[in-house]
Amino acid sequence: MYHHEMIATTEMPLKLIVHQEYVTDTTIFRHWHQALEINYVVNGKAEFIISGKKISVNSGELVIINSNEIHAAQGIITSTNNLALTFQIPYEFLKKEISNFDEYWFVSPVKGEKIARLRIDLYQYYLDSQDNQSLLLLKSDTYKILDDLVRYFGVTKKSVTNLPNIPKLDKLSELTSFVSKHSSEKITLPILAEQTHLSVGYLSRLFSSQMGVTVMEYVNLVRVRQAFELLTNTDKTIESISDLTGFANPKSFRKFFEQTYKRTPGKYRQELKGHKTT
């Protein structure tokens, strides 16, 4: 699924998402946000697509995603000891603390002392957050991470060759928001073109060039994602799920689900139940 994501935090300027599941959703979700994102795979393996490039991240490795880079992530399915950490730092906080933040580009680290320093500080934040430590301590951890980023991985955009082209995302946001709200209804290219006030041809070219899939492929990915949630979290029949998520018929649903998850809906549900009982 492809969408614009708003990153908001409450008391802390940093948002942490902990991934520990054994069976995960392996759909690629392309999205973007103004926040700076760091994905640290402590144990396991993950695949990312960032600005059109596929990147594999193994245990002990991490990847930095810059503001408004269109990116995607696949599930981490290796063992029962998986642990991956996603850190998202809102743009507003970064801009406040780093006055020239918009001039920076953050380069994903490779092996060495610099990445070791960042790994330590990221993991320490995770430990402190799990132990319900004070907000002051977590804020201190946050500033250590920020210092690591600027000190070791920040370069000026002018110095970067082949800097990824960050697209204009307003029309894409408008379209993906509409699809998210109306995916269970009939959706056609003319309907979407009218909604975004673009011609069918221009909309198709714009979306494909920025997202790497056609508009209607995207619509079906949204539907498959919603179907996945119903399949894994409810006891609804395959036929009922197909109808609720906007597919023309169960055969069409099975086709798109198998293309995405490499197994039929029924087979996926069986495997999920089998894992939960072991």
Q: Return per-residue pLDDT of the chain as tens, 278 residues.
A: 334 444 445 567 889 988 876 544 455 567 778 899 999 999 888 888 888 788 889 899 999 999 888 888 766 555 567 888 999 999 889 999 998 999 999 998 777 778 899 999 999 999 999 887 688 899 999 999 999 999 999 999 989 887 876 666 678 878 888 888 899 999 999 999 999 899 999 999 888 877 777 899 889 988 988 898 898 889 999 999 999 999 999 999 999 998 888 889 998 888 877 655 44
Among 104, 97, 118, residue whose Cα is nearest residue 155: 104
Note the pLDDT of residue 274: 65
DSSP assignment, residue 261? H
CA 9 from centroid of its chain's CA atoms: 17
Domain 2-159 CATH superfamily: Jelly Rolls (2.60.120.10)
Task: Determine how β-strand 30-32 pairs with β-strand 53-58.
Answer: unpaired
Instruction: Please report where in the chains the tokens 């991470």 appear, as a residue.
Output: 145
Instruction: Please report where in the chains the tokens 């995960």 appear, as a residue.
Output: 24
Among 35, 51, 64, 46, residue whose Cα is nearest residue 211: 51
CATH class label, 170-276: mainly alpha
Distance CA 123, CA 126 (A): 5
Note the pLDDT of residue 223: 92
Instruction: Look at the pTM and tell me if it is higher than 0.75.
Output: no
Task: Determine how β-strand 36-43 pairs with β-strand 83-89.
Answer: antiparallel
DSSP assignment, residue 52? T
Instruction: Provide the residue ranges of all domains of the chain, joining segments of one domain with +.
Output: 2-159, 170-276
Helical H segments across the chain, by residue range: 91-97, 113-130, 135-148, 170-182, 189-196, 200-211, 215-233, 238-244, 250-261, 265-276
Encoded tokens for 207: 């979306």
Same CATH topology for 2-159 and 170-276: the answer is no
Note the pLDDT of residue 54: 84
